[in-house]
Each structure stands twice: as structure tokens, then as C-alpha cells.
Chains A and B, each alone.
Chain A
């Protein structure tokens, strides 16, 4: 297997929702294995849609996604991907505890009855320990602070022990201290060989921990190392609110910029 097939390859994805809203148009990008990659763009720019397409929650109208050279379905079956959802996407009133949630990360390894074994318990305990949530493991998830909620779901992703971890807006509603803590964990995970993709609309923190950056506004506007990508020109293009008709043209310009 060629080394460049590792990581996430997105080829020419277009997604139109049933209400005819075009969320993504001809998006192609590459998330390099073993890096932290930031996905940056304005709200409504298609970040969540791209995430959902990579995870297989949304089927694109055209295009393909590969994870470590495998199709999305195969990647799901082999526990290659985990997903830390946005706070808004979780029902915080659901009667489950933190430990229950983290154990859900292990379901893919269990038999049909989902009876946890010794290894499952060990992984859950270790993940809870690493995010510093051991003392809160019996709390119902709605009783946690914003930062604790994020850490609980990050622990679930860690317990799943998947090669690729996607985090959708992990720093929304989180204080600076927790943000630092999560960033530290992400860097540790990267150093252990995980591939991490983080979506955010908060530009300030990107350059502090993202090795690579992808700029997205309905299509990929730029991608590469953070130092190369974070130019004023690229950012104003991404957040400038451009009409869709100009996107294909801009797309080719941004490609030239890197070739």
C-alpha cells in the first residue's frame, strides 16, 4: 500500500440536501495521517456536512471518500473512525452516565449482546483517567459542565481506539483552561499515531496546535500546512461571503497557489 493512501482522501464531493440546499460543491482534500488538521470556515460553510460525509452519516451526490485506502463502510466496520459530536447534537437529558457513554465506544469490539469484557473495562477506565473524568464517571451526562461534556465524548473516542478522530466544534462553550487541556490531549493522541481532524470557526487557536489547515466555504478554498494556508488573502476569501458562482474560479486560483 502506498503511504499516501493513509489518512483521509476526499475526492470531488458534492452534497445537496433534500430542500435543494447545496452544502458542498466539488470538495477535494486530503487529511494527512498522523497530523492534527484544522477544518476552518464560516458557519454554514459546510464543515459539518463534510464531517458527516467522511463519517458516512450523509451520502454525497457525487464523489468518494477513502479512509486509509478503505471505503467509508469498511472503515466503520474496522473501527477506524470515531466522532466527537457538537454539543447541540447530543440529548443531554438522556438517562446515561459518563461511564455508559464511554463504554459505547467499545460496542464495536463486543459480541452481539454488548457485554463488556476485561479489555473493554480497562480501556474505558484508562480513557476516563486520561481526560480526568474518573471522579465523574457515574454522573448523568446533563450534570456536567461544558468542558466536562466535551471530555466525556473525547474519552469515548479514545476508548474506541480508532485511527482517525473527528471533532466537530470541540471548543464551543468551553473555557480557556479546558481548551488547553483538550488541545494537549489531541497532541498526545497525534504523537501516538492518530489522525485528528478538528472543525472550528475560531481562528485564534488554529495556528497554536494544527499542523495542517483546510479552508472551506462550500468547497475547499485552500489546504496545506498551517503556516502556508493561513494567509490574509486565503482567510478573506474563506470568510468574505463570496457568491457561489465565483467559487469554482477561486478554487482553481487557490490550487495554483500551492502547486
Chain B
């Protein structure tokens, strides 16, 4: 009996040893410790907001804001201001301009968004290539969490914490605003204010994720976790929990992968998120492709 119990332990150890090695070895480097907890934090902030963004149907708006921050980052670096400040002003400003142009023209919203954000982005490219500064365009576009500086960490933390506090305090009103803005108005809530609250929280989240994912991939972090969770549950609190879980797992594991395989951090995080989404899409019990097919074949089940 004792022999049988004793046998698997070394075997298990043999299997686990390389895994521990894989997990612990990167932690000997200070920058990796930083990168892992920063990306986990960013994962939480993005995941929480992504639930509201997917339900409100604002994915394209997220894409727009993320691209519109580029000139802000360049200007901020050139003037020696915190990057987060420039990014927030330009990101939020773009959404205000989108709203204004939409109300003044007969264009549909997606066309207005397409025009404005690419305009901002192009202006950012022009600035970045003209203004002499130590801004690395590649890092803005694709993130650089492995080389994140102390001041960037502080800015990321502040933007993320402000976002979380605002959402925590206004979560029920924001959910009502996403679900039924007319009812929100009917009971005397200021829906205009909620619209701009959600937009500024969106801009802040993008500022938070800028260093981890970069502006091109940040939209994935703003949409995919919420979209994955939406396929798995019918309850908003569960959706939040699932979204945060998938996001943090992807962020931490993605950072490890990028270290071991020497690949882009933002890229591997988003690839993992997309894989989790694909799994949910196929295997989700109620809304998965497989489940729906099975139910259609056996209507009684």
C-alpha cells in the first residue's frame, strides 16, 4: 500500500519540476516581476470595463479612442509632461469631436468614428516623425511592458485606480445606462453625464493599457474578455468575474510566454485571450456553437 502511494510522488515531481522552473526562473529578473504584476493589474481594469463596452456596443469607440491618443503621447513627451495626461486629453477630446460631428452632419456614427480616429492617428504619426524626442513609435504602437519605467508604472496605476473607483461607485447607473438609457432618463438621471462618464473611463482604461498592449492591441483587451464572458453567462456579476479571470490569466501567462519564447508581450497576451474566446465560442454550455448544435438535434434535451 505504502509502496503504491510513494511511487507517484517522484514521478509527479519530475513532471512538476520543469513547470516550477518555467514559472520561477523569470521572477529572478526584477523587470519581469514588475511586468507581470503591472500586466495583471491592467488585465483587471480592462476586463471590468470590457463588460460595459461589449454590452453597450462601443467596441469601435474603444478602437477610435486608442488610436486618437497617439498625438497626445507625442506632445506630452515633447513637453516633458506625463504621457497619461496627453493621452487622456486627446483620447477624450476625440470622442467629444466624434459626438459633435455626428450631431452636425447626416453621417452615421461608424463613418464619423472612422474619419476622426484615423485623422488623429495620422496627425500623431506626423508629429512623432517630426518632433525630435526619445519617443519610440514602436513602443506606443505595440506596448513595452518589459521595459516599463517607474514613472510609467505610477501613471498606469493612477489611471487604473481612478477607473476602478469610478466604475465601482457608478456601476449600477452605468449598467442601467447600457441597458435602458430611456428608463435612466425617465427616472431623472443625467444620461448626458453618464455618457461622458463612460467615455472618460474608456479613455482612462486605454491610458492604463497603453504600456502593456500598445494602442493597436488595446482594443482586444477592452473587448475580448467581456465578449468571452458574455458567451458563458446570463448574469452580470458572473460576467464580471469570468471576464476578470480570463483577462488576468491571459495577461500573466502572456507575459511569461513572451519572456520564454522571446516574442511580443502584447501580442502573446492578446493571442491567449483570443484562444480563450474561441474555446468559449465553441464549448460554452448555452451559447456555444457545439451546445446549440446538440440542442437543435435533440430538441427535448
Contacts and interface: CB of A to CB of B under 8 A. Distances in A.
B236 A76 contact: no
A150 to B, nearest CB: 15
Given A85-B180, A107-B176, A114-B172, A96 B236 contact: yes
B185 interface: yes
Given A79-B188, A112-B169, A104 B235 contact: no
Nearest to A74: B188
A198 to B, nearest CB: 16
Interface in B45-100: 55
B256 to A, nearest CB: 32
B187 A107 contact: yes
Interface in A72-119: 73, 76-79, 81-83, 85, 89-91, 94-97, 100, 104-105, 107-108, 112-114
B185 A104 contact: no
B233 interface: yes
Given A107-B189, A108-B188, A113-B172, A95 B182 contact: no
A55 B187 contact: no
Nearest to B168: A113
B176 A95 contact: no
Contacts of B106: 18-19
Interface string A113-146: 1100000000000000000000000001011000
Among A76, A79, A82, A96: residue with most chain B CB under 10 A: A96
Contact of B234 (A19, A78, A89, A95): A95
A4 B159 CA distance: 54
Contacts of A114: 172-173
A105 B188 CA distance: 11
A195 interface: no
B182 A76 contact: no
Nearest to B181: A57
Interface residues of B, number: 25
A107 B173 CA distance: 8
A112 B185 CA distance: 15
A55 B173 CA distance: 19
Given A96-B179, A112-B169, A114-B172, A76 B235 contact: no
A138 B233 CA distance: 13
Contacts of A56: 185-186
Contact of B55 (A76, A94, A140): A94
5 contacts: A52-B182, A57-B182, A95-B236, A95-B239, A160-B187
Interface of A: 18-19, 52, 55-57, 73, 76-79, 81-83, 85, 89-91, 94-97, 100, 104-105, 107-108, 112-114, 140, 142-143, 156, 160
Contacts of A113: 169, 172
A166 B272 CA distance: 48
A108 B187 contact: yes
Given A105-B187, A108-B189, 16 more contacts: A56-B185, A76-B185, A78-B188, A83-B183, A89-B182, A90-B180, A94-B55, A95-B55, A95-B235, A95-B238, A95-B239, A97-B234, A104-B179, A104-B183, A107-B173, A107-B189
B230 interface: yes
A57 B185 contact: yes
A223 to B, nearest CB: 24
A228 B235 CA distance: 50
A55 B180 CA distance: 14
A144 to B, nearest CB: 12
A73 B236 CA distance: 30
Given A19-B106, A95-B230, A77 B169 contact: no
Interface string B170-201: 00110110111011111111000000000000
A104 B185 CA distance: 12
A27 to B, nearest CB: 20
A55 B182 contact: yes
Contacts of A18: 106
Nearest to A19: B106
A97 B186 contact: no
Given A85-B180, A94-B179, A95-B233, A76 B173 contact: no
Nearest to A81: B186
A55 B176 contact: no
B187 A91 contact: no
Interface string B143-178: 000000000000000000000000001001101101
A161 to B, nearest CB: 11
Contacts of A82: 186-187
A110 B236 CA distance: 20
A77 B233 contact: no
Among A94, A112, A160: residue with most chain B CB under 10 A: A94
Query: Top 7 closest A-B pairs, CB basis?
Result: A108-B187, A140-B234, A114-B172, A77-B188, A76-B188, A95-B236, A83-B186
A220 to B, nearest CB: 23
Nearest to B237: A95
A20 B210 CA distance: 42
A89 B179 CA distance: 10
B235 A97 contact: yes
